Amino acid sequence: MNIAVFASGKGTNFQAIAEAVHKGFIKARLSLLVCDTPGAPVVQKAQRAQVPVFIIERKSFSSLKEFESRIIKALRQEKIDLIVLAGFMRILSPAFVAQFKGRMLNIHPSLLPSFKGTRGIQEAFRYGVKVTGVTVHFVDEHVDHGPIILQSPLPLAANETLASLERKIHALEHTLYPQAVKLFTEGKLRIKGRVVRVATQ
């Protein structure tokens, strides 16, 4: 099975998945990094891991359709079976998502459906929740909305700060995301409507 990771920034979740593949925890090939930000730290991480890098900027294309068509071409060339969104700071169109329905995962730093969007950690903290966490889900045509695969709760400490919460959430992501990718590569995820069941066999 061939995996492509989409990322735009630091690439810590990319690193966690690359290490899980390297150690054999995920028995698949990390075949491609798709990055829309030249010079992003994730590119260096991919190069060190000897993962091919495909850099593509939206501004180089006259339309979103052309931009996504070029990405799709690269994915087909690498025979990609699974897309893993790991801090890819661009919303993909419903047409793109439809082509990879049931084969695209995303991670979000809250217990969805609460605190959707790009500031999930900050919003949960400022709201004063006692428990937040991390969600891995299939991607559908809506933002932070697809069927949930795994969730892991994280109680907030009495002396929690935003900085300490961010560190804990990211550490939790680095554990949970490889677990979800492993389940997918082993063929253990079954989607029925908005419910994902994990096969035991």
According to the model, what pLDDT value does residue 195 have? 86
Summarize the chain as % helix, strand, coil (round to 5).
35, 25, 40
Q: What is the pLDDT of residue 201?
A: 60
Long-range contacts of 59-65 (CB under 8 A, 24+ apart): 64/93, 65/93, 65/95
Structural domain for 29, as ranges? 2-198
pLDDT at residue 199, as a whole number:
84
- CB atoms under 10 Å from CB of 66, counted, come to 11
- Count of domains in the chain? 1
Residue 34: how many other CB atoms lie within 10 Å? 24
Compute the distance between CA of residue 81 and CA of residue 75 in angstroms, rounded to an integer. Answer: 9
145 is catalytic: no
Strands 2-7 and 29-35: parallel
Q: What is the pTM of this model?
A: 0.94
Please name the residue that has the structure tokens 């699974």.
82
Residue 96's pLDDT band (boundaries 50, 70, 90)? very high
pLDDT of residue 118: 85
Could you tell me if 103 and 93 are in contact, meaning their C-beta atoms sit under 8 angstroms apart? no
Q: With cut-offs at 50, 70 and 90, classify the pLDDT of residue 92.
A: very high
For the segment 70-79, the average pLDDT, to the nearest whole number, is 97
Which one is catalytic: 22, 108, 170, 174? 108
Residue 102 is part of a domain; what is its CATH number? Answer: 3.40.50.170
- Inform me whether the pLDDT recorded for 200 exceeds 80: no
The whole-angstrom separation of Cα 197 and Cα 174 is: 22
Mean pLDDT, the chain, whole residue set: 95
pLDDT at 191: 87
